[in-house]
Amino acid sequence: MKILRNLIPHHFLTFCVGKLASSKNKTLKNILIKIFIKAYKPDLSLAKLKRPEDYTSYNDFFTRELEDSARPLDASTNAVCSPVDGSIVDYGSIESGQLIQAKRFKYDLSDLMGFPLLADELEGGIFITIYLAPTDYHRIHCPLAGKIIKSNHMGDSLYSVNLNAQTSIPSLYIKNERASLVIQSSKFSYGLVAVGASIVGSIVPFWEKRDLMKRSSFKESWNNGPKEDLKIVNKGQELAYFKMGSTVILLFPKVAKLNINSLYQNKTVKFGERLAEIGSD
């Protein structure tokens, strides 16, 4: 299985699919969109654009925006909102600078995020991992208001991040392309890591308005971070979007006293709903 994975030209495959997905040829993009709709039956009544014909490309359709009323936001000050639509694949304590995924694979926080910032604060804290399937809404939003103090892009591989891959590929999240943010809220700093996967052409930050094509350009944009006037982010504000399905990992420090009693594996979550609660002082 390992040999087969290594033989698959992930980057070349991603490049080819990316070309098709970004094509604005009306016939081609309509065919691709209709195939997806037939296979996955997404609810377009929740999208701002209701008709497949209204989208300029398959990518435009796949990263479609939702109506403002589609995902009510839990505005409570002690609520950490789900940043995405998806399912809970893992959660638990951060111990000895590591988190454990799939009950067996250990991930060093500094390797996962790409820098040692937050490592001490996260000791004894909580991680929550959410998987986005192809059918899910693919925009990532801010789970708790604050200020972006660090952003980063790292990793080169593009393995699948489905359940089988999570339980069979060691260091999967560290091997894969990913982007990380550190956000300083009113009481503590927390981390958010967006992990790419097979056929994920890019992870696009909210501050990037150019129509970038090269992977190196996206890396540069993440590493430069937003301009000073864009660093303050509100709960529910868009942070980035995936061009295909993938994974988001949230990292909270011990001081947050995060209550995750409502979580369980494979639980379906929606952007905006309460994911966990911040403990009182």
Task: Note whether 42 and 113 are same-domain residues.
Answer: no
Mean pLDDT on 23-51: 92
Mean pLDDT on 67-90: 95
pLDDT over 80 at 102, yes or no: no
Task: Note whether 243 and 134 are same-domain residues.
Answer: yes
Task: Note whether 49 and 121 are same-domain residues.
Answer: no
Mean pLDDT on 193-201: 71
pLDDT over 80 at 91, yes or no: yes
Residue 212 lies in a domain: yes
Lowest-pLDDT choice from 17-31, 100-114, 240-254: 100-114
pLDDT over 70 at 172, yes or no: no
Task: Note whether 83 and 52 are same-domain residues.
Answer: no
pLDDT over 60 at 2, yes or no: no
Q: Domain range spanning residue 30?
A: 9-62
Which helix (H) or strand (E) covers residue 216, if one does? Answer: helix 215-224
Catalytic residue from among 10, 82, 85, 202: 85
Q: How many separate helices (H) and strands (E) can be counted in the chain?
A: 9, 15
**What distances in angstroms separate CA 180 from CA 88, 111, 155, 168, 223, one per listed residue?**
19, 11, 11, 24, 10
Q: What is the model's pTM?
A: 0.87
The confidence score (pLDDT) of residue 20 equals: 80
Mean pLDDT on 222-239: 96
Helix (H, G, I), strand (E, B) or coil at 15: helix
For residue 211, indicate whether it is catalytic: no
Residue 4 lies in a domain: no
The confidence score (pLDDT) of residue 3 equals: 38
The confidence score (pLDDT) of residue 10 equals: 52
Task: Note whether 92 and 122 are same-domain residues.
Answer: yes
Lowest-pLDDT choice from 150-164, 172-186, 238-252: 150-164
Whole-number Å distance between alpha carbons of 95 and 108: 10
Residue 110 lies in a domain: yes
Task: Note whether 51 and 184 are same-domain residues.
Answer: no
Mean pLDDT on 145-162: 79
Q: Are 193 and 178 in contact (CB under 8 A)?
A: yes
Residue 236 lies in a domain: yes
Give the other-Cβ count within 10 Å of 60's Cβ: 17
Whole-number Å distance between alpha carbons of 110 and 224: 19
Confidence of residue 6 (pLDDT cuts 50, 70, 90): very low
Structure tokens at 192: 């958010």
Structure tokens at 45: 């009544």
pLDDT over 50 at 240, yes or no: yes
pLDDT over 50 at 119, yes or no: yes
Q: Which residue has the higher pLDDT, 266 or 156?
A: 266
Confidence of residue 1 (pLDDT cuts 50, 70, 90): very low
For residue 85, indicate whether it is catalytic: yes
Q: Are 55 and 64 in contact (CB under 8 A)?
A: yes
DSSP state of 109: H
Looking at mean pLDDT, say which of 44-48, 172-176, 208-212, 243-247 comes out highest. 44-48
Task: Note whether 50 and 92 are same-domain residues.
Answer: no
Task: Note whether 31 and 103 are same-domain residues.
Answer: no
Task: Note whether 36 and 133 are same-domain residues.
Answer: no
Q: Are 198 and 13 in contact (CB under 8 A)?
A: yes
Q: Where does 125-207 show beta strands of DSSP type E?
A: 126-131, 139-141, 146-154, 178-184, 189-195, 203-205
Residue 2 lies in a domain: no
Task: Note whether 155 and 220 are same-domain residues.
Answer: yes
Residue 67 lies in a domain: no
Mean pLDDT on 56-83: 94
Whole-number Å distance between alpha carbons of 234 and 75: 10
Whole-number Å distance between alpha carbons of 212 and 222: 12
Which helix (H) or strand (E) covers residue 166, if one does? Answer: helix 163-168
Catalytic residue from among 141, 160, 189, 198: 141
Task: Note whether 120 and 228 are same-domain residues.
Answer: yes
Average pLDDT, the chain: 85
Q: Are 262 and 128 in contact (CB under 8 A)?
A: no
Percent of the chain beyond pLDDT 90?
57
pLDDT over 80 at 63, yes or no: yes
Judging by DSSP bridges, how do beta strands 139-141 and 274-277 pair with one another?
unpaired
Angle in degrees, 0-180, between the axes of helices 10-22 and 26-40, rounded to the nearest 10: 110
Whole-number Å distance between alpha carbons of 42 and 135: 6
**What distances in angstroms separate CA 235 from CA 10, 54, 72, one per listed residue?**
35, 29, 12
For residue 153, indicate whether it is catalytic: no
pLDDT over 90 at 151, yes or no: yes
How many domains does one find in the chain?
A: 2
Residue 281 lies in a domain: no
Start-to-end Cα distance in the chain: 49
The confidence score (pLDDT) of residue 21 equals: 81
Task: Note whether 119 and 179 are same-domain residues.
Answer: yes
Residue 140 lies in a domain: yes
